[in-house]
């Protein structure tokens, strides 16, 4: 939600003459604050990255396959903290789009790995540019030291 949207909503409530909403214990809960941040990020992401057709998990998956050609399905599931059903569904969708393929590793023929196809490589490059644009709208709210601190706090929550 943009600052303009927030202002507009507040004004509407004032016109309607309602008292401000009491929020109980919510603002003091980690879960509530992380979820609100996640919603705000998700909203901006879906406007900016992949024209609303790409979910954050798909972006992360593509980045991982690009950085680890031949990565195994279980490694992707681990790294993305997704369960097996979710990773299978994602991979299936991206194989149908011809962004990814599963084939034997050239280095270790016993291993079946996941690789980007040219169309997937193009997509990753376009999406990464859009991701950087999206990120800038949030990183500019912090100094470099604050951002380092925020990341360290978030990593305590997701060990």
Binding footprint of its own copies on the chain (CB under 8 A): 1, 3, 6, 9, 13, 18, 21-42, 45, 56, 60, 63-64, 66-68, 71-72, 75, 78-79, 81, 128, 131, 134-135, 138-139, 141-142, 146-147, 149-151, 153-159
Q: How far is CA 25 from the centre of its chain?
A: 28
Report, in Å, the least distance between residue 98 CB and its own copies: 21
- If the CB atoms of residues 83 and 96 are measured against its own copies, the closer one turns out to be 83
Nearer to its own copies, 96 or 158 (CB): 158
Tell me the closest approach of the beta carbon of residue 93 to its own copies, in angstroms. Answer: 19
CA–CA separation, 130 and 51 (whole Å): 9
Tell me the C-alpha distance between 34 and 115, whole Å.
33
CB 91 within 8 A of CB 113: no
- Least Å distance between CB 59 and its own copies? 8
Considering only CA atoms, which of 56, 81, 86 is closest in space to residue 157? Answer: 81
Considering the complex, what minimum distance in angstroms separates the CB of residue 149 from its own copies?
Answer: 7
Smallest distance, its own copies to C-beta of residue 122, A: 17
Residue with token string 């280095």: 107
103: β partners: 113
Question: Pairing relation of β-strands 112-116 and 100-104?
Answer: antiparallel
Closer of 96 and 122 to its own copies (Cβ): 122
Q: Which residue lies nearer to its own copies by CB, 88 or 132?
A: 132
Quick one: 118 or 159, whose CB is closer to its own copies?
159
Contact 75, 69 (CB under 8 A): no
DSSP code for 142: S
């Amino acid at each position: 939600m943009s600052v303009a949207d927030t202002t507009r909503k507040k004004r509407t409530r004032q016109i309607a003459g309602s008292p401000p909403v009491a929020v109980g214990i919510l603002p003091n809960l980690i879960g509530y604050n992380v979820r609100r941040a996640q919603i705000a990020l998700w909203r901006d992401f879906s406007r900016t990255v992949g024209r609303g057709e790409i979910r954050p998990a798909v972006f992360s998956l593509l980045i991982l396959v690009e950085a680890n050609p031949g990565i195994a399905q279980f490694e992707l599931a681990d790294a993305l903290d997704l369960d097996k059903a979710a990773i299978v569904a994602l991979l299936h969708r991206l194989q149908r789009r011809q962004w990814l393929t599963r084939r034997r590793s050239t280095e270790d023929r016993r291993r079946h790995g996941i690789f980007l196809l040219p169309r997937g490589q193009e997509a990753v490059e376009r999406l990464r540019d859009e991701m950087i644009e999206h990120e800038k709208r949030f990183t500019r709210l912090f100094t470099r030291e604050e951002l380092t601190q925020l990341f360290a706090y978030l990593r305590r929550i997701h060990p």
